[in-house]
């Protein structure tokens, strides 16, 4: 175990033997109270998934018209709840009010500067209705795509639900992406409108958003309208006819907007994520199955009760914010804290101050944040009363056992079950996770599959692996929350997820299952990096670099990083320019401009050649070793000629 706080290696989790049973008093009150109860449910669903989802789908969503067929599976295309009509915004709002939660807070908002708002279900319903009418007033119709590029404010949730209410398909773009990335997404989706804000708050400064959208819209011919929320009071440029203030549209809009009854399979949203090839994939989720999966998994994994206060720290720019800030918790009637800003602003105890202030009971964050908290020191935690906490969750990457133990002891006071949740943009919601009242946890393991999830680990030979044998993580049966495709690219969908292992969904991760039936995720099988829990494609970064006139060729790899999990290291061959520090900085800025700040390389090394196999493939494993072993420092950190090394290692690739 080489790393104290850093990246989890295979080594650190191969030897993990500790077992933490759910506290007895927790289990006694839990929805699912014991391992036996979990196993019985899991077996029941596995034996007849269609029967289980038929009943659950009927009981837990609102139906304008009932469905006539639970599952239509024409591999690899699934249709769930065929013939039914529902609406995700209705399930999140109208249904909650009808069940008596009208005055219950849906959102407890804390802005970074300290401004706060409590929004009840009835108030949220009115805002969403008004906003849906505002969209209609601009001519946005069912099936139209709408991009959203906003700070983490309640209006972001209003925008998503407003689209869902009228059947417009939202495509949320994380605020860290560049104008180029926004334009690519607008064009791929054919977005007719974009919703943004003047700026958002980040560490006390205004992070401009509208200005970036203005740049993007120069290259987004399909976008006719831009709605602008005033969050910070930044001066913005204005294009008459195209740009509309949020508040003006809202002032004119009626509070009456019945939810459109939508087919179960009507597209709900597209969310772009990185894959192994250059272009980000528009992952498509549809209405009923996704909504049900988000709700059910939220209730199971967090053991949610009506009096809980739930806080997921994710931004709605990522799938976690879709499923576990918006659709899951709201369709379960939860009270959700939303915080706009940075965890260390104004002080490093901001998160714990929020937990204490709102008496948060269910808390969901990412390992990269936990590693930062550890580094900042326990004194920031100890200032606050965290006794309201009941369940702690993590998502986005594996959590190394040391960070797990710190979360357990220092945040959870050894009292709160930790749910390490494995899932993906594609899966729509959590797939692997402990149920907090039923499954004993092992630090670093996402433990067992949720009911309805049938994982299979498959070796390179196509056979199922035995205990402790590593292989490709696949899923054997369709589930309601699964992606329905890649926007506009059916072939890529079949190819990426369904071609390598026949009949099973290929997740793209390696995993092993131990003798107790606990799963350990061991990282990606493809060229996807996980930087602070964010998915990045090495090829996307390489394409950005070679689009710079000075660059002949580039190779990007991940290297272990104490806080981010992985950092981006790139090896660059120049055409003729001199390898200067100024150029290094320029290339970093160039990647920022092409993709966004989140993809900016941490290290850039100049080199005269890249190690390749005889067939011309870059030897990434060798580059990864080099990137991990040496720090890139100073002006002249060019790589020595490693052709000798390369030839020594050629057999490996």
From the list 28-36, 395-403, 541-549, 573-581, the region that binds ligand WTA by CB under 6 A is 395-403
543 marked ligand binding residue: no
Number of chain positions touching ligand WTA (CB under 6 A): 22
At 285, list the tokens. Answer: 């989720």
List of residues 6+ apart from 606 with CB closer than 8 A: 572, 573, 574, 579, 584, 637, 638, 639
512 marked ligand binding residue: no
Contact call for residue 176 and ligand WTA (CB under 6 A)? no
The gap from C-alpha 378 to its chain's centroid, in whole angstroms, comes to 28
Task: State the alpha helices, DSSP H only, in 455-564.
Answer: 490-498, 538-546
What residues are paired with 475 via a beta bridge?
A: 455, 505
Q: Residues 273, 291, 331, 400: which binds ligand WTA (CB under 6 A)?
A: 273
Which residues 44-103 are close enough to bind ligand WTA by CB under 6 A?
Answer: none
Beta strand 551-561 with 534-537 is unpaired
From the list 33-41, 394-402, 496-504, 621-629, the region that binds ligand WTA by CB under 6 A is 394-402
203 marked ligand binding residue: yes
> Do the beta carbons of residue 173 and residue 193 sit within 8 Å?
no
- Element of type H or E holding 263: strand 262-263
Which residues 429-458 are close enough to bind ligand WTA by CB under 6 A?
Answer: 446
Q: Residues 319, 418, 555, 619: which binds ligand WTA (CB under 6 A)?
A: 319
CB of residue 645 vs ligand WTA: minimum separation in angstroms? 29
CB of residue 324 vs ligand WTA: minimum separation in angstroms? 9
DSSP-assigned states of every residue in 473-509: EEE-S--TTS--EETT-HHHHHHHHHSSSTTSEEEEE
From the list 184-192, 238-246, 506-514, 548-556, the region that binds ligand WTA by CB under 6 A is 506-514
Contact call for residue 600 and ligand WTA (CB under 6 A)? no
From the list 65-73, 190-198, 421-429, 627-635, the region that binds ligand WTA by CB under 6 A is 421-429
The gap from C-alpha 371 to its chain's centroid, in whole angstroms, comes to 18
396 marked ligand binding residue: yes
Contact call for residue 324 and ligand WTA (CB under 6 A)? no
Which residues 533-562 are close enough to bind ligand WTA by CB under 6 A?
Answer: 535
Instruction: State the DSSP code for 437.
Output: T
Instruction: State the DSSP code for 416.
Output: S
* Residue given tokens 């901001």 in the structure block: 350
Q: Residues 198, 263, 299, 397: which binds ligand WTA (CB under 6 A)?
A: 397
Q: Where are the extended beta strands (E) located within 121-253?
A: 145-149, 169-172, 193-197, 199-202, 205-208, 225-229, 243-245
Contact call for residue 422 and ligand WTA (CB under 6 A)? yes
CB of residue 51 vs ligand WTA: minimum separation in angstroms? 29
> Do the beta carbons of residue 508 and residue 524 sit within 8 Å?
yes
CB of residue 271 vs ligand WTA: minimum separation in angstroms? 9
Nearer CB in complex with ligand WTA: 249/531: 531
CB of residue 525 vs ligand WTA: minimum separation in angstroms? 9
Nearest to 547 by CA among 607, 605, 587: 587
- Element of type H or E holding 96: helix 94-96
Instruction: State the DSSP code for 135.
Output: H
- Element of type H or E holding 569: strand 565-574
Instruction: State the DSSP code for 511.
Output: E
- Element of type H or E holding 13: helix 10-14
Query: Rounded to whole angstroms, how far apart are CA atoms 538 and 546?
Result: 12
Q: Residues 352, 423, 497, 518: which binds ligand WTA (CB under 6 A)?
A: 423
Task: State the alpha helices, DSSP H only, in 15-120.
Answer: 24-29, 35-47, 49-60, 88-92, 94-96
From the list 181-189, 224-232, 391-399, 629-637, the region that binds ligand WTA by CB under 6 A is 391-399
List of residues 6+ apart from 564 with CB closer than 8 A: 368, 531, 532, 602
350 marked ligand binding residue: no
CB of residue 534 vs ligand WTA: minimum separation in angstroms? 7
> Do the beta carbons of residue 49 and residue 451 sit within 8 Å?
no
Contact call for residue 365 and ligand WTA (CB under 6 A)? no
Q: Residues 196, 260, 421, 538: which binds ligand WTA (CB under 6 A)?
A: 421
The gap from C-alpha 538 to its chain's centroid, in whole angstroms, comes to 18
Nearer CB in complex with ligand WTA: 122/424: 424
437 marked ligand binding residue: no
204 marked ligand binding residue: yes
Query: Rounded to whole angstroms, how far apart are CA atoms 153 and 173?
Result: 14
From the list 101-109, 226-234, 414-422, 557-565, the region that binds ligand WTA by CB under 6 A is 414-422
CB of residue 80 vs ligand WTA: minimum separation in angstroms? 21
Comparing every residue's Cβ against ligand WTA, the nearest one is: 425
384 marked ligand binding residue: no
Q: Is 369 left (phi over 0), alpha (psi -120 to 50) or beta?
A: alpha
What residues are paired with 521 via a beta bridge?
A: 511
Q: Residues 260, 264, 286, 320: which binds ligand WTA (CB under 6 A)?
A: 320
From the list 56-64, 418-426, 572-580, 621-629, the region that binds ligand WTA by CB under 6 A is 418-426
Contact call for residue 524 and ligand WTA (CB under 6 A)? yes
Cis peptide before 592 (omega within 30 of 0): no
Contact call for residue 326 and ligand WTA (CB under 6 A)? no
Contact call for residue 410 and ligand WTA (CB under 6 A)? no
Cis peptide before 294 (omega within 30 of 0): no
Binding site as annotated, residues for Mg(2+): 546, 548, 551
Contacts to ligand WTA by CB under 6 A: 273, 318-320, 395-398, 420-425, 446, 507-509, 521, 524, 530, 535
Binding site as annotated, residues for CoA: 202-205, 320, 532, 592
């Amino acid at each position: 175990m080489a790393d104290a706080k850093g990246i989890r290696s295979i080594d650190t989790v191969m030897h993990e033997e500790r077992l933490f049973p759910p506290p007895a008093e927790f289990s006694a009150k839990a929805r699912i109270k014991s391992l036996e109860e979990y196993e019985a449910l899991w077996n029941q669903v596995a034996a007849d998934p269609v029967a289980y989802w038929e009943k659950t789908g009927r009981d837990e969503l609102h139906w304008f018209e009932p469905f006539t067929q639970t599952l239509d599976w024409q591999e690899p295309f699934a249709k769930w709840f065929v013939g039914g009509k529902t609406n995700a915004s209705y399930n999140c709002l109208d249904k909650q009010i009808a069940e008596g939660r009208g005055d219950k807070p849906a959102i407890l908002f804390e802005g970074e500067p300290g401004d706060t708002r409590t929004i009840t279900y009835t108030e949220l319903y009115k805002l969403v209705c008004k906003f849906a009418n505002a969209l209609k007033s601009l001519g946005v119709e069912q099936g139209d795509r709408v991009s959203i590029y906003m700070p983490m404010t309640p209006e972001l949730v209003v925008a998503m639900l407003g689209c869902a209410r009228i059947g417009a398909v939202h495509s949320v773009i994380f605020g860290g992406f560049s104008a180029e990335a926004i334009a690519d997404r607008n064009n791929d989706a054919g977005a007719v409108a974009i919703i943004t804000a003047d700026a958002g708050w980040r560490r006390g400064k205004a992070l401009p958003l509208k200005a970036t959208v203005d740049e993007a819209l120069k290259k987004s011919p399909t976008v006719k309208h831009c709605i602008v929320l005033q969050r910070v009071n930044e001066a913005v440029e204005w294009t008459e006819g195209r740009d509309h203030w949020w508040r003006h549209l809202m002032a004119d809009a009626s509070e009456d907007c019945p939810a459109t009854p939508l087919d179960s399979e009507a597209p709900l949203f597209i969310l772009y994520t990185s894959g192994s090839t250059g272009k980000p994939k528009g992952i498509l989720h549809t209405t009923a199955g996704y909504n049900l999966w988000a709700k059910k998994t939220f209730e199971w994994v967090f053991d949610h009760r009506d009096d809980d206060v739930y806080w997921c720290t994710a931004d709605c720019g990522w799938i976690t914010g879709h499923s576990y800030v918006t659709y899951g918790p709201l369709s379960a009637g939860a009270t959700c804290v939303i915080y706009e800003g940075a965890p260390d602003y104004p002080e490093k105890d901001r998160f714990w101050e929020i937990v204490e202030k709102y008496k948060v009971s269910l808390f969901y964050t990412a390992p990269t944040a936990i590693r930062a908290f550890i580094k900042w020191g326990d004194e920031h935690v100890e200032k606050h009363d965290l006794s309201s906490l009941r369940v702690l969750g993590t998502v986005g990457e594996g959590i190394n056992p040391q960070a797990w133990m710190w979360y357990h002891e220092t945040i959870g006071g050894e009292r709160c079950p930790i749910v390490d949740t494995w899932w993906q943009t594609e899966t729509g919601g959590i797939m692997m996770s402990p149920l907090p009242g039923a499954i004993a946890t092992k630090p670093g393991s996402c433990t067992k599959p949720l009911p309805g999830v049938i994982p299979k680990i498959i070796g390179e030979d196509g056979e199922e692996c035995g205990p402790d044998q590593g292989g490709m993580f696949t899923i054997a049966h369709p589930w309601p929350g699964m992606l329905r495709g890649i926007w506009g690219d059916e072939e890529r969908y079949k190819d990426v997820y369904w071609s390598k292992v026949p009949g099973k969904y290929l997740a793209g991760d390696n995993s092993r299952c131990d003798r107790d039936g606990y799963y350990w995720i061991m990282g990606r099988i493809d060229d996807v990096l996980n930087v602070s829990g964010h998915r990045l494609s090495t090829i996307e970064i390489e394409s950005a670099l070679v689009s710079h006139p000075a660059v002949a060729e580039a190779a990007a790899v991940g290297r272990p990083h104490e806080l981010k999990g992985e950092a981006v290291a790139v090896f660059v061959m120049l055409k003729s320019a001199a390898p200067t520090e100024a150029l290094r900085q320029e290339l970093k800025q160039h990647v920022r401009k092409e993709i966004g700040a989140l993809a900016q390389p941490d290290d850039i090394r100049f080199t005269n050649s890249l190690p390749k196999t005889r067939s011309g493939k870059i030897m990434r494993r060798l580059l990864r070793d080099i990137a991990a072993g040496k720090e890139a420092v100073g002006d002249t950190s060019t790589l020595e000629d490693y052709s000798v090394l390369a030839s020594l290692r050629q057999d490996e690739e």
